[in-house]
């Protein structure tokens, strides 16, 4: 459990994307995880790329919840989250398989994690210390 508190979870879908992209980039959009028929008789198809974005959004919620802590571990978590964002941004810019809208959305989610993490931690620390704005 300690490792989950320290490791930035947003890195999981980014790492999965990179691992899939190393060998089977066509898998992202072409492989259907499942198809669901809606009430409107429309077929909703969930592929691997969509699943990774959904996973990243759920993990972002957990990361924002983790940002409410004020401890030395949270500082390390923020630094690692910043590292994940920088690594994903560089990967997006220089690695051709990562030059997709899906990877860009994952990079944006990593950026939101960094910004929200620092903002929430600073706000929580101010409240804990009693600094007024």
pLDDT tens, 20-74? Answer: 888 766 677 778 899 999 999 999 999 999 999 999 999 999 999 988 877 778 8
Residue 44 burial (10 A CB sphere; 0-12, 13-18, 19+): exposed
Identify the CA nearest to 117 among candidates 4, 37, 8, 1: 8
pLDDT of residue 6: 75
Higher pLDDT, 126 or 107: 107
Higher pLDDT, 1 or 92: 92
Question: Around Cβ 131, how many Cβ atoms within 10 Å?
Answer: 9
- Lowest mean per-residue pLDDT among 21-35, 69-83, 84-98: 21-35
Interaxial angle between packed helices 101-129 and 11-23, expressed in degrees from 0 to 180 and rounded to the nearest 10: 160
pLDDT of residue 22: 84
Rounded average pLDDT over 78-92: 96
Most confident of the ranges 3-7, 85-89, 93-97: 85-89
pLDDT of residue 81: 95
pLDDT greater than 90 at residue 1:
no
How far is it, in rounded angstroms, from Cα 120 to Cα 60? 13
């Amino acid at each position: 459990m300690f490792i989950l508190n320290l490791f930035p979870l947003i890195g999981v879908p980014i790492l999965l994307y990179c691992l899939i992209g190393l060998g089977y980039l066509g898998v992202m959009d072409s492989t259907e995880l499942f198809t669901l028929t809606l009430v409107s008789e429309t077929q909703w198809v969930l592929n691997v790329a969509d699943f990774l974005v959904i996973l990243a959004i759920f993990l972002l919620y957990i990361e924002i919840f983790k940002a409410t802590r004020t401890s030395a571990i949270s500082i390390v978590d923020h630094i690692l989250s910043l590292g994940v964002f920088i690594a994903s941004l560089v990967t997006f810019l220089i690695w051709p398989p990562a030059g997709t809208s899906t990877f860009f959305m994952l990079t944006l989610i990593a950026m939101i994690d960094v910004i929200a993490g620092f903002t929430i931690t600073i706000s929580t620390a101010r409240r804990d210390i009693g600094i007024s704005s």
